[in-house]
Structure 1
Amino acid sequence: MTARNRPHDPPAWNRASATEERLRTALSAAAGVAVEVRPLAAVPARRRIRLPVMLASVTAAAAAVAAIAFVAVRPAPGVSAPELTEEHIMTMAMSGTTSDQADSVDVSIFLCKRVDPFPECEEGEATEERKAEIRRTLDALPEVKYVHFEDQRVAYESFKAEYRENTVLMGAIQVEDMPESFRVRVVDSADRQMIGTVEEAVQGLPGISNIVNRFCLLHKEEC
């Protein structure tokens, strides 16, 4: 039986509904009113995340559950908890990287979970075989200095450390909401082409929901 046809997987339109419901509940409790959360299926499909950055703020929708970034992903200035959109929250949820870790990562490769709303994950989760293929691809690149694998638990602990004062997010996001990821450091972090080579090498590999290029986050006008 293929990953696409597993009988217990929810249909695409209902993916991540549990997360959405937790977000609704948490946001509504904070606001004291019902909060409408758009379905995750509406998130545009993108292989690479290039989010507008304002020093440490990412305000656009992400491209992989949890759209996760290499800079500390925070709500836009002036956005209070009840006003947080689903895109804000999913961006932060995907960002298992704290501000202290951000400078040591050049490419983040986020993996598909068993239930994932992103089109890149239609073929199913990142199995051990798929993870091994991604790791082999990265290890074979001379541009790569080191690769670090981050599981859901570690990603969640980083997320908690970064957003521990945000009770809305802490009440809505759980360990299973966090994607696993490969965090890559290249030999020369100032070399845009080197970072791009790593990004292009893994694009299209099964099991990858999104790829975040740190250079493009910081220099979006050049990407």
Structure 2
Amino acid sequence: MKRWSWRVTVAAVVALSGMTGPVVSAEAVHAPEINFSDDWEIAVFLCTPSAYGCHKRYATAKQRRDIETFLQATPEVTEVRFVSRAAAYANFRQEFAGQQKVLASVHAKDVPESFRVRVSGVADRTRIVALANRRPGVGLAVDHADSHVDGAAAPQASDMSVFLCEKDSFKPACLRGRGKANKSAVTVKERKAIVAVIERIPGLESYEYEDQATAYRNFVEAYADNEALVSATRMSDMPASYRLWVQSAADLDSPRRRLERMAGVSQVHDSRCLLRKLRLRSEYGLWKLRSGIGGCG
């Protein structure tokens, strides 16, 4: 069975998940090493009424021409192509065919027009993105070399991660409704209740428990080339968790919400949802959507 999972940069997943504080788990955010390619594009999405800073307006025809002129005049740019709203929406419908919640959350008018830009190998991509983001009529410019998403599966990554409360945790979920267990690590009783819910998830294929020592060992192995990060991270920073693998057609929204409310659960990450949001943002310029694919935990 092919899992719906994309290879992504660590920074992109962390940003989308809204994680703060210590690094949680190597497996949760680590992805296979990626060789950067000069072929990766910079996507410059034009304003739509829902885009931040666009004052509830679409980019005007003049703004579109000015943006194209700016991009073509940039010395490091080797190619500029325009993607219409109709073409982008058709691609979106094809890519997410069968995922009714995603399709229902996006209308044709929500999808921005865009310019796709290729640059030379010596280009300062960060500068080009920053300049593009400041142009009138631009809703968002994204460098696919920074937030790369492709169809290659990452078989070691779980579909959902259920992180458990640690001792002295100040996360609201670990202090809410736990009585005497407040500020303590997840209790045996809480773990049994969590496992009971996990085992009843429709489409569950398998799950495993990862203790702090295993999480820390995986983290050290994954980031062995980043001595500063490893030296700043202790085993106590790594929460224990349950890793879940489910069938590709399984709906994880309801199980995620139920697990998030359970005593002893610190937070839940739906990896497929996080990666889907990254894909929608980087390829389609969509980051503010209707209900249905919003929060991912």
Query: What TM bracket, shorter-length normalisation?
Result: 0.5 to 0.7
Identity over aligned pairs, percent = 26
Q: For structure 2, which runs of at least 5 residues remain unmatched after alignment?
A: 1-6, 37-124, 126-153, 176-181, 281-292
Paired letter, 1:109? V
Work out which of the residue numbers 131, 134, 156 in structure 2 matches 1:101. 156
Superposition TM-score, scaled by structure 2 size: 0.43
Q: Which amino acid aligns with 2:261?
A: G
CA distance in 1, matches of 2:219, 2:274: 19
| 2:163 is equivalent to residue 110 of structure 1 | yes
CA drift of 1:198 comes to 2.5
> Aligned runs of 1:63-78 on 2, under 5 Å?
66-68=23-25, 70-72=28-30
Measure, in 1, the Cα distance between the counterparts of 2:269 and 2:216.
18
The 8 Å contact of residues 152 and 176 in structure 1, kept in 2 or not, is answered as yes
Gaps spanning 5+ residues in structure 1: where?
Answer: 1-52, 79-98
Find out whether 1:178 has 2:178 as its counterpart.
Answer: no
User: Does 1:205 pair with 2:265?
Assistant: no
Residue 170 of structure 1: CA displacement?
1.5
- Per-residue deviation at 1:66? 3.7
Q: Distance in 2 between matches of 1:116 and 1:73?
A: 27
1:101 alignment partner AA = Q
- Residues paired across the two proteins, number: 144
Q: Is the 8 A contact 2:22 2:233 kept in 1?
A: no
Structure-2 separation of matches of 1:181 and 1:134:
11
- Supply the distance in 1 between the matched residues of 2:212 and 2:163 (Cα, whole angstroms): 11
- Offset, 1:55: 4.1
- Whole-angstrom distance in 1 between the partners of 2:222 and 2:155: 9
Distance 1:64 1:149 in 2: 22
For residues 27-85 of structure 1, what are the alpha-carbon distances to aligned partners after superposition, in whole Å with 9 as ceiling and x for unaligned?
Answer: xxxxxxxxxxxxxxxxxxxxxxxxxx9544335241675445734179xx99xxxxxxx
Distance 1:140 1:196, change over 3 A: same
**1:206–1:128 distance in 2 versus 1, CA, 3 Å:** same
Counterpart amino acid of residue 19 in structure 2:
A
AA aligned opposite 1:140: R
RMSD of the alignment, in Å?
Answer: 2.8
Counterpart amino acid of 1:72? H
Per-residue deviation, 1:129: 1.2
Distance 2:186 2:212 in 1: 13
Partner residue, 1:139: 199
Per the TM alignment, residue 121 of structure 1 is displaced from its structure 2 partner at its CA by: 1.4
Structure 1 residues 73, 168: CA separation in 2 closer, same or farther (over 3 Å shift)? Answer: farther
Tell me if structure 2 keeps the 8 A contact 1:144–1:198. Answer: no
Structure 2 counterpart of 1:70, which letter?
Answer: A
Contact 1:107 1:183 in 2 (8 A): yes
Structure showing greater Rg? 2
DSSP 3-state at the match of 1:126: coil
Which amino acid is 2:165 matched to?
A: C
For the residue of structure 2 that corresponds to 1:70, the secondary structure is helix
Q: Normalised by the size of structure 1, how large is the TM-score?
A: 0.56
What's 2:224 paired with? 164
